[in-house]
Structure 1
Amino acid sequence: MITHSNRSIKKQVFDRISYLGTVSKADLLQYFSITSSSMTRLLEEMTAQGIIVVSGLGSSTGGRKPILFQTNPSYRYLLGLDISRIHSVLGLYDMHLNPLSLTRWKMDDAMSPERLVDEVADAVHRFLTEHGISSSDVLGMGIGAVGPLDQQAGIIMEPEFFPAPSWKNVPICQLLSERLDMTVKLDNGANTALMGEHWALRNERIQHALYVHAGVNIRSAAMSGGQILRGAVDTEGAIGQMIIQANGPRLRDNSNYGALEAFVSVPALEERIRTQLKIGRKSVLSGISPDHVNFATLVDALDQDDPLVKEQFTETAAYLGIGLANLINALHPEYVILGGPLVGAHPLVLDTALEIAKKNTYHYPEYSPVFTQSLLLDEAVATGAAVMMMQAWDGE
């Protein structure tokens, strides 16, 4: 019988193989203080159970070529769900985090929690049927959601800007666990997005990272020593309340004056351009009612190089750069990962934000973090939610 301590070691060995990709026994012995014979027995046991597989032979250093191991992608499966304000995304993944099936839903005013739970449950059953997977072979579902959250209780509390009015104190983990008869875990979407991006960048061996999502509001997550930084409360959108201009504009009644979100968010950008149109500024949008201007029409106008829209996107990006510099100067990350609709709208946004961030980073260029746009794009939150479930798995 496997003891608790052996289970712990087995999970640690699995995590290390998963992180490194392909390894030999000698590679693993660099990380674990167990004997060579114990490692051999453990690898043989894990291979017999199908948790890992032999992937070939390594290069010889004078003796026999070493056996190489990797995790078995089809040993179990994972579900990742992103619950956001504009779209929600569900993915089915293998143990290598390859997406097997993906679907998304528009979060309009009809997408209540009850309807989304129905849609997700139906999609899960469809995914499993299509791939011939039993529900017992799924480790569980991870959820990355807009906060604030009660993570331990699995509750989405009072998120702002949801089109449907009933997203308040939603016991999302309980609802989905009862429907699917599987373990469901919740974290905020910025954290799971960073988990996903960290997984995608695992060959870089990143220990300290910052993730910033610019969209309906500003969401952020940070990692130190390879672990997500967590505070006493879960308020992922709080970075949007960073004051960057004393006595500046206010986006909402409960927000700070001069807060970052009043300069860098989709609602703030839409409102500024509507105001400019109302006072008579010329634009390719002049032929439509300012009240009908939304983010999609703004992106189209930016693609047409409209001067007014380009000016406002550039200003938004510059303020994003200021917010990034403040975070970088406080957290000193190795990597800065940028995602969200604003960042992805046009190269102008990313280029301008990085230019301003670098100019305002203390000791730049001696200290120069690596900047990158999200590698996983719209799938970052869902992928990271699946990563969370794999990390929570006990190895059995």
Structure 2
Amino acid sequence: MPNVEDWISNRKAKPIFAEIRRRGVVSKFDLLEWSGLTSSTLTRMLEELATNGWIAESGFGESSGGRRPLLYRLKQDRGYAFGLDISRSATRLVLCDLQLEKLDSASWPMTERMTPEMLIKEVVQAVRRMAAKRGIEPDRLIGIGIGAVGPLDRTTGVMLNPLYFPAEGWHQVNLVQKLESELGIPAMLDNGANTALLAEYWAGAPQQYRHLLYVRAGVGLRSAMMSNGQLVYGAVDMEGSVGHMIIQTDGPPHPERPHVFGCLESFVSIPVLEKQAAARLKQGRRSVLADMVESPDEIDYQHLLRALSADDRLATELFTQAATYFGIGLSNLLNILHPEKVILGGPLITTNELFYQISTQVALKNTLYYPTYPVTFTRGKLSDDALAVGAAAMIVDRLTS
């Protein structure tokens, strides 16, 4: 099985290919200026990449006084990558070309029957079916990337001990080894926040922003950071670290670490909102929520959204409080990391405007150097596909590592 890094054999050609991919369409003149290579060396690199099918000529650019410059673009059908998003509630598989255009997809609910063995069987069948459907030969399949719930060890390709999977067996699962053995193509593993950030980076303007922060708010809090176009890693998996940020030392205990008090995730998550709503109803608070369920303990997130859309005072209060705490957590991240752009995703962000507006306003208000520090906030563009598409991007990125 060839390594992904060996697909482009000439090491000097890799940065040229990476820059063409980053810019989309670029002139030979701009590449010459950017690379610092001699004209003859650059011409040789471009010819080699074109001969091997990685890039193609794309007409001529505007003239600046002399001959019109030749343009080059990525040849997106030269290779294909699969991306797999393994989450607690659902797993999603996508097939992408080199431009990260989604060509096909499949998904599975993570029920009590979806053990690792069952899921891998389903994924392998879907990969073969998608490749056959599009007539993709094995020599054009670069590999499969996996974005999974942590904690995990990306160097060994093992999911360690993630919590709250409905099925048994999701501990010490060597996903990379299993998928490589079944499919015969390279596999890579990383946490879902990192792969989501990769997807949003390539879906946005990779030539414009180099320092990005991604935070996903839903059942829990997950984050990732990119500096100078590269993901930032620590000594251990950092995906869930943002949720363990202490913001009130005498606050409630963390759901998974009862000896730790006042974590951000103790104030901001879907389960916390559901529990708070149930507790308020038991205390006698008036709310349209009481008409939606027979017992307060039956309240779920969809009930909360319906109450919020009805301008229910209790639901508005709960979302406002959670958004305020989330904004405080964001401001701490901004003051430490100073990203140019913050991408927010997950159900708490995408399903209601109130949470997004309050949290970003609170974050800015508490940020050092604001307003001279011009951070940009945005919602993620790819929604449910972000983690899977980013997993495919991880494989494509490896071409030029």
TM-score (ref. length: structure 2): 0.94
Q: Is 1:261 matched with 2:265? A: yes
SS in structure 1 opposite 2:288? coil
- Once the two structures are TM-superposed, the CA of residue 171 in structure 1 deviates from its matched residue by 0.7
1:394/1:197 CA distance change after superposition, 3 Å: closer
- Once the two structures are TM-superposed, the CA of residue 203 in structure 1 deviates from its matched residue by 4.8
1:108/1:311 CA distance change after superposition, 3 Å: farther
Name which of 85, 90, 96 aligns with 1:87.
90
CA distance in 2, matches of 1:114, 1:375: 32
CA distance in 1, matches of 2:395, 2:267: 36
Could you tell me which residue of structure 2 aligns to residue 174 of structure 1?
Answer: 177
1:291/1:165 CA distance change after superposition, 3 Å: farther
**More moved, 223-232 vs 299-308:** 299-308
One-letter identity of the residue aligned with 1:282: R
Name which of 30, 34, 41 aligns with 1:27.
30
Name which of 279, 286, 297 aligns with 2:283.
279
- Once the two structures are TM-superposed, the CA of residue 151 in structure 1 deviates from its matched residue by 0.8
Q: Is 1:366 matched with 2:372? A: yes
Could you tell me which residue of structure 1 aligns to residue 390 of structure 2?
Answer: 384
Could you tell me which residue of structure 1 aligns to residue 311 of structure 2?
Answer: 305
Q: Is 1:220 matched with 2:223? A: yes
Name which of 93, 100, 105 aligns with 1:102.
105
Q: Is 1:69 matched with 2:72? A: yes
- Once the two structures are TM-superposed, the CA of residue 202 in structure 1 deviates from its matched residue by 2.5
Q: Is the CA contact 2:324–2:358 (under 8 Å) kept in the aligned structure 1?
A: yes
Q: Is the CA contact 1:7–1:394 (under 8 Å) kept in the aligned structure 2?
A: no
- Once the two structures are TM-superposed, the CA of residue 127 in structure 1 deviates from its matched residue by 1.1
Name which of 149, 152, 156 aligns with 1:149.
152
CA distance in 2, matches of 1:166, 1:310: 39
SS in structure 1 opposite 2:356? helix
- Once the two structures are TM-superposed, the CA of residue 295 in structure 1 deviates from its matched residue by 1.7
For residues 52-96 of structure 1, what are the alpha-carbon distances to aligned partners after superposition, in whole Å with 9 as ceiling and x for unaligned?
A: 111111111222211111010100101111111222211100111
1:41/1:253 CA distance change after superposition, 3 Å: closer
CA distance in 2, matches of 1:73, 1:94: 6
Residues 235-246 of structure 1 aligned to structure 2 (within 5 Å): 235-246=238-249
SS in structure 1 opposite 2:144? strand
Q: Is the CA contact 2:7–2:399 (under 8 Å) kept in the aligned structure 1?
A: no
CA distance in 1, matches of 2:235, 2:373: 30
Residues 344-363 of structure 1 aligned to structure 2 (within 5 Å): 344-363=350-369
For residues 172-201 of structure 1, what are the alpha-carbon distances to aligned partners after superposition, in whole Å with 9 as ceiling and x for unaligned?
A: 111111121111000111111111111112
1:49/1:202 CA distance change after superposition, 3 Å: same
Q: Is the CA contact 1:121–1:176 (under 8 Å) kept in the aligned structure 2?
A: yes
Q: Is the CA contact 2:84–2:93 (under 8 Å) kept in the aligned structure 1?
A: yes
**Contiguous gaps of at least 5 residues in structure 2:** 1-5
CA distance in 1, matches of 2:361, 2:152: 34
1:12/1:229 CA distance change after superposition, 3 Å: same
Name which of 203, 210, 227 aligns with 1:207.
210
Q: Is the CA contact 2:59–2:71 (under 8 Å) kept in the aligned structure 1?
A: yes
SS in structure 2 opposite 1:281? coil
Name which of 334, 339, 361 aligns with 1:333.
339
SS in structure 1 opposite 2:58? strand
Instruction: Report how many aligned residue pairs link the two structures.
Output: 393
Name which of 107, 116, 121 aligns with 1:118.
121
SS in structure 1 opposite 2:104? strand
Q: Is the CA contact 1:337–1:372 (under 8 Å) kept in the aligned structure 2?
A: yes
Name which of 46, 51, 54 aligns with 1:48.
51
Q: What CA RMSD, in Å, does the superposition of the two structures yield over aligned residues?
A: 1.8
CA distance in 2, matches of 1:199, 1:219: 19
CA distance in 2, matches of 1:127, 1:136: 15
For residues 328-375 of structure 1, what are the alpha-carbon distances to aligned partners after superposition, in whole Å with 9 as ceiling and x for unaligned?
A: 000011001101111112011100101111111112111120000111
Identical residues among aligned pairs (%): 46
Could you tell me which residue of structure 1 aligns to residue 234 of structure 2?
Answer: 231
One-letter identity of the residue aligned with 2:308: L
CA distance in 2, matches of 1:107, 1:47: 43
CA distance in 2, matches of 1:6, 1:174: 25
Name which of 9, 13, 16 aligns with 1:10.
13
Q: Is the CA contact 1:338–1:373 (under 8 Å) kept in the aligned structure 2?
A: yes
**Contiguous gaps of at least 5 residues in structure 1:** none
One-letter identity of the residue aligned with 2:394: M
CA distance in 1, matches of 2:211, 2:7: 31
SS in structure 2 opposite 1:386? helix
**More moved, 311-320 vs 6-15:** 6-15
CA distance in 1, matches of 2:385, 2:132: 22
CA distance in 2, matches of 1:204, 1:47: 23
1:307/1:108 CA distance change after superposition, 3 Å: farther
Could you tell me which residue of structure 1 aligns to residue 3 of structure 2?
Answer: none
CA distance in 2, matches of 1:217, 1:227: 24
- Once the two structures are TM-superposed, the CA of residue 297 in structure 1 deviates from its matched residue by 2.4
1:263/1:372 CA distance change after superposition, 3 Å: same
Could you tell me which residue of structure 2 aligns to residue 320 of structure 1?
Answer: 326
SS in structure 2 opposite 1:393? helix
One-letter identity of the residue aligned with 2:387: V
SS in structure 1 opposite 2:14? helix
- Once the two structures are TM-superposed, the CA of residue 391 in structure 1 deviates from its matched residue by 1.1
SS in structure 2 opposite 1:60? coil
